[in-house]
Amino acid sequence: MDKKRLLKRTYWFWLVLALLSVGKLLLVWGLPIYPIPTAACDDALMKNWALQIANGGWTGPFSCYIFTKEVGFAIYLAITYRLHLPYIVATNLLYMAGALILLYAVSHVVKQKWALCLMYGVILYHPIMTAVQTGQRVYRNGFAVALTLWVVGSLLNLYFEIGEKPLRWNILWSLFATGSLGFLWITKSDTVWLMPFTVVVLLVAALLLVVKQCKNWKALGRVVLLAAPLVGVSLFPKLVVLKNERVYGYSGIPYYGEVMSLLTHLDLEGAAENISLPTESFQELCRLSPTLATTERKVLRVIKEYDPYDTHPQDGNVEDGWIGWALVRGFQRAGYYQSCQTASDFYQKVYEELSAALEAGEIRRKESSPGANYHVSTPGERKELLGTIGEIWRYVASHEEMFSDAYLLDEKEIVGSQSFEQVTRSNACYADFSKDYACVGWVLFPQHDLADLECYMEDAAGNRLARISFDKSRDVGHAYPDVKGAKRCRFKVEWAYGGNEEQPEFYLAGYDGDKQAGKVKVNKLGMEGAPEDVCVGSVDGYFAKSEEQKVTDKAQKAVSRCNIVYGIYQGVGNWLAWAGLLAYAGFTVLAVWEWRDKKFQTLNAWLVVTGIGLSILVLFAGVAVTHLENCPAIGYMYLSAAYPLLCLVSILSLVKFGECAKKRFFGGK
């Protein structure tokens, strides 16, 4: 092929990639976030940490969640917030970059430009990055998918180029692999499923480098670059530990793990599948541990709150996947998380008291084994595990549930939602309001009893637009115990306004008879203009109906676009997955046939497909064990990273099988 034709071919290839990339950005433009402010240990926690980090702190005041969640996603969210990047667009850009890195890696074994464009398009437009639970939620699952593409792509590029390309490229891929794997490690605790793939790729690359460059000592120095990704796995968590020690004085709470292990691994009467600590058994343990007994009332109340969301609502128990969260929230409400020291003292006392009960024979540990922990101790369990892995395969292949949604938040979900909009620089959708403007929040006039005041929403001229009534506010009452009326100061008010101002100003005013007790300006930024001794409060939601309608209309159009794409994937996903599996079997047979003739051109392609495929299988197995041993886990948010990788290996298997079949049976090149 002459140089001119080659340039023309390359030009069209890059043009297609560029058009696909621009199309993806247009697809997600206007897609709303799905905030869940009630997810105290998930979405809300990451949002709060991100705001703390963005403002120059760490993860904020000490709480029961400090050492129980990975901080990586909060750091990422703080960065996008500081860079003024819309969260959904930024995450899709990161995903796009990961897809390009992975595509470049695959180009070492696939030379057909059309096939590379197809792979990029299928990965890029995958609905995993626009679905409610992964693309729209302000949580770590979508971010983790993007990082996974960076990890796999960078490792493969390091494998293919460590002894072939200039040192600067090797350093680049090593840095990418180290950074993305290390950051993923402090983002999701289940990243371990990538470790077999990582270790094997790096070891094989090191062995090949030693064999090829055995007399070139400078080249052998590149082995250090292959070790760097494994260093990242230990370095990034160590940096988090050092920061925690500097801020909180501890890197973890002593005896926390021992106590939780005791509470959930005892041979208790009434324990059942996925319920290691029945409520009645917890109450019995409280009688054996005086320190634990001080938390009984608070823990039981939290268990009651969790119960409706369990697999078996109203049974009075919390399943293993959530019992740990229920316990720590109860312990915090009982006052044992004021600092690391108070928490440490609490857990040490509980451990000592329960250990004494163990020694006295009042309780005993449940017999356990590694096989039982991984659900493989009996033939029946092994069969059940394999069946669950098969169920997961069918679930992933069918692309179920990955729709987008312009979810309309109702009155109960408004509190805290606008802070998600703030940190993500993105919009959420709210239920339609009956009047032109609405405001949700709480207010206090410290020098007055709120029950004795009449409060109104007013315009700049002082015209009263709506009278405000108040509801219970237990949280504010705890924060302001000495202020009268603090236990009933939350409000939601709507008002009509016929003024012509483009951005009218509104005020919340309180009156004691004819005398004004205080007046404060309200808007999306909060309450402004009044000294704290006159008025304190918070605006949890401020809405202009016309503006919210524009946001909702734009969001619904974006959702419709994304769901059209999702419909395509749902229609062809099963066919692609099963065709890819059959193609892989055929590719393996034909490849072995070639290897017997000492032709190894297909070896690298087969290793790539097999390596990624086995990693996906490890992820499936891990989710299956969690599903069987702890709580329901077959959901696309837990399996998110598998989707684009499965599509990749399916297409790659089809392409390589076609090449091998053509060469073997039709004499093609």
3-state secondary structure 546-568: HHHHHHHHHHHHHHHHHHHHHHH
Residue 511: what pLDDT? Answer: 95
Structure tokens at 459: 């315009």
Based on C-alpha coordinates, what's the Rg of the chain?
29
In whole angstroms, give the CA distance from residue 251 to residue 310. Answer: 32
Angstrom CA distances, 592 to 200, 598, 603, 662, 663, stand at 21, 10, 9, 15, 14
Residue 241: what pLDDT? Answer: 93
Residue 286: what pLDDT? Answer: 92
Q: Counting Cβ atoms within 10 Å, is residue 28 exposed (0-12), middle (13-18) or buried (19+)? A: buried
Residue 665: what pLDDT? Answer: 76
Residue whose structure tokens are 């069209």? 12
Coil, strand or helix at 87: helix
- H or E, element range at 405: none
Instruction: Write down the pTM of the prediction.
Output: 0.91
Contacts by 177-180 with C-beta closer than 8 Å and gap 24+? 177/150, 177/151, 177/228, 177/229, 177/232, 178/228, 178/229, 178/231, 178/232, 179/232, 180/98, 180/147, 180/150, 180/151, 180/154
How many CA atoms lie less than 13 Å away from 276 in the CB half-sphere? 21
Closest CA to 64 of 318, 274, 346, 297: 346
Q: Counting Cβ atoms within 10 Å, is residue 632 exposed (0-12), middle (13-18) or buried (19+)? A: middle
Pairing mode of beta strands 454-459, 408-409: unpaired
Coil, strand or helix at 148: helix
Residues of the chain with pLDDT under 50: 1
What residue spans of 464-544 are helical by DSSP H?
A: 474-479
Residue 412: what pLDDT? Answer: 76
**What is the layout of strands, in order, in the sheet containing 536-544?**
490-495, 437-444, 536-544
Asked if 416 and 651 touch (Cβ cutoff 8 Å), the reply is no
Amino acid of residue 23:
G
Structure tokens at 480: 């302001």
What residues have CB less than 8 Å from 534, skipping those under 6 apart?
445, 446, 447, 518, 520
How much helix, strand and coil, in percent to the nearest 5, is found in the chain? Answer: 60, 10, 30
Structure tokens at 523: 């808007």
* Angle, vertex CA 358, rays to CA 352 and CA 359, nearest 5: 90
Closest CA to 642 of 621, 668, 660, 627: 621
Asked if 130 and 27 touch (Cβ cutoff 8 Å), the reply is yes
Residue 589 burial (CB count, 10 A): 12
Asked if 642 and 395 touch (Cβ cutoff 8 Å), the reply is no
